[in-house]
Chain A
C-alpha cells in the first residue's frame, strides 16, 4: 500500500532545480506532485513520478544524490474538514507525521494527501481500520 517517493539533494542556488527538471523532461518522466524542503544552504526536492525506477536511474546517471522513501497516499473528499478527518484519527492513535503535501485529483472531487510517517505500516493499518482510502503506488503513478 506504500508509495515510493523520489528525493533529490539540491544546493540552494540558481539553476540547480532547473538541472533536475531538465533531466526528468529529457527522460520523459511525468511529475504527479512535488514539494521542496529547504534550509539556508540546501533543499530536498520530493517527487511522486509516473516511473520511479527510471527517474531514479536517470537522476543518478546525471550525478544527483537520490533516494527513495516510502510514503503513504490517502484520498479524501476535497471539502472543508477533509484533511482534519485524517489528522483526528492519527492524533488519537499517537502517530507522528514527519511531513505531508497534497494535490487535487483530475476529477476535482478528491484530494490526495501524501504523508511521510516514522512508521508507515502502523499508519496504514490505522487508516484502513478507520475506512480511509489508501491509494496504492501503482494507481497513484498512473493518475
Chain B
C-alpha cells in the first residue's frame, strides 16, 4: 500500500535524476544563505556547481553535531524566522542543545512522509491511533500526529506517562494502532498484566515503534504479548524527525528511506571514507527538500547498513537495517538521546561539584534506568557537610537532569577515588543493557 505511489515506486534512474536536481538546488541555496556552508565549501575549494552527479557527493564536507551546537540556536537556518512556522529542539543545556526549524512546506513534507510511513504499515483512515510518544519539543509526538491526521485516521494524542490512564484508554477507546518506544510497549504490558488486562484482548492490530534501538527479540516479544504486528520507523530530529524511514508490512527487513527527500550514505566513522553499499558504517544524511533547516552530509552517529535489493512491497527506495549501534557515546534513555558531555555540563554548573561521575545505564523491568554516581568533592563536603545539604545537592542534580535533558536519573553520592578517572567519555558510562 502506498500513500504516494508515483514517488515511492519511482524507477531508480528517474529517482536519481530527481535527487541530483534537488541536491544542486539545495546546495545553491545553503551556499548563499547559510554562513557555515559557504565557509565549509570554500575551505575545501568546492563550489555548488562542481556537483554534477551523485557520484560527486563525497566531495562535499560533512556537517557534525558539533557544528549544529556551534550554531545554536538559529545559525544554520536557511530562511528568515518569518518563514518558520515550527521549532523543535533536542535535549541539553544552552549551547549543547540543537534547534530545528520548519517552514509551512517543511511541515507539509514531513506530514506526507509520516503519512507514507503509516500507510506502509497498512494503516488508513478507519484506524484509531494511540500516540504515546511525547508531544512537545521532541519531534516524535507531533511528527506522528500530523501524519496520522493527513491520512484521516483518528488520533489520540496520549503522550507518554500515566500508564494506568493509557491502559484505560486502550480498553475504552479501542485504538487499532499504538505508537511508542518498544520498551514503553513492554512496560505498558506489564502494567496491564498487574491490572488484570490481557493486551491480546485489545483492538490493537499494529504497533509503530521507534526512538530507541529495537532488537528483533524485543519486536517478537511485543508481537507475542499484544498479538499485533510490530513495525519500526527511523527518525532523526536533526534531519526532520520521524518519517525518514519506515519498515513496510510486506518486506519487514529494514526501513525504506524516502529517497526523493533524503540522500543516505554509509561511511567509515574513523576515516570518513564512503563505504560500498551493504557495508556496515555510520549513516550520513543529506536533506533534498527541507527549506528551513537543510543539512548537507550530516553525520548521524547511527551505525547501520544499506539494503539495496528490491523489496517485494514495490518501493524503489533503498532500506537501512535497524539501528542498534552508535559511532559515538550517545545514550538513548527511554527514547531520549543523552550525551555524557551534557550530563557533565549539568554537574559542573552546580557549584562545588567535581565532575567525577559515572553513568550506569540498566533496565528496571523493560524500561531504561539511569544512575548517576557523583563523587563528593572536598569543597562540597566542607561547605555542605550535613545530610540535609547533601540531599539538597542530590535533588538539584535530579531536577536539572529532568529539566534540561528530560531524563529521570537516580543520583548516588560516592566517596572520592571510587570511580575510574580514565580520560575519555566512554569510561564514564557503564551500559548494562543488552539490546
Chain A contact residues, CB within 8 Å of chain B: 7, 9-11, 16, 37, 39, 41-42, 44, 63-67, 69, 98
Contacts and interface: CB of A to CB of B under 8 A. Distances in A.
Contacts of B391: 39
B415 A67 contact: no
A65 B387 contact: no
A106 B168 CA distance: 67
B386 A65 contact: no
B378 A65 contact: yes
Q: In the complex, which of the residues B377, B390, B417 has the most CB atoms of chain A within 10 Å of its own CB atom?
A: B390
21 contacts: A9-B376, A9-B381, A10-B415, A11-B414, A11-B418, A37-B386, A39-B391, A41-B412, A41-B413, A42-B412, A42-B413, A44-B385, A63-B415, A63-B416, A63-B417, A65-B376, A65-B382, A67-B381, A67-B382, A67-B385, A98-B386
Given A9-B376, A37-B387, A39-B391, A65 B414 contact: no
Contacts, number: 48
Nearest to B411: A41
A63 B419 CA distance: 13
Given A41-B412, A41-B413, A69 B385 contact: yes
Contacts of B382: 65, 67
Given A9-B376, A39-B387, A44-B386, A65 B412 contact: no
A66 B390 contact: no
B415 A11 contact: yes
Interface residues of B, number: 18
A7 B385 contact: yes
Interface in B111-140: none
Nearest to B384: A67
Q: In the complex, which of the residues B376, B387, B415, B417 has the most CB atoms of chain A within 10 Å of its own CB atom?
A: B415
Interface string B399-419: 000000000000011111110
Contacts of A67: 381-382, 385
A98 B385 CA distance: 13
B416 A65 contact: yes
A10 B412 CA distance: 12
Contacts of A64: 415-416
A11 B413 CA distance: 8
Contacts of B377: 65
B415 A16 contact: yes
Contacts of A9: 376, 381, 385, 390, 413, 415
A63 B380 CA distance: 14
A63 to B, nearest CB: 5
Given A7-B385, A9-B376, A65-B416, 11 more contacts: A9-B381, A10-B415, A37-B387, A41-B412, A42-B412, A42-B413, A44-B385, A63-B417, A65-B376, A69-B385, A98-B386
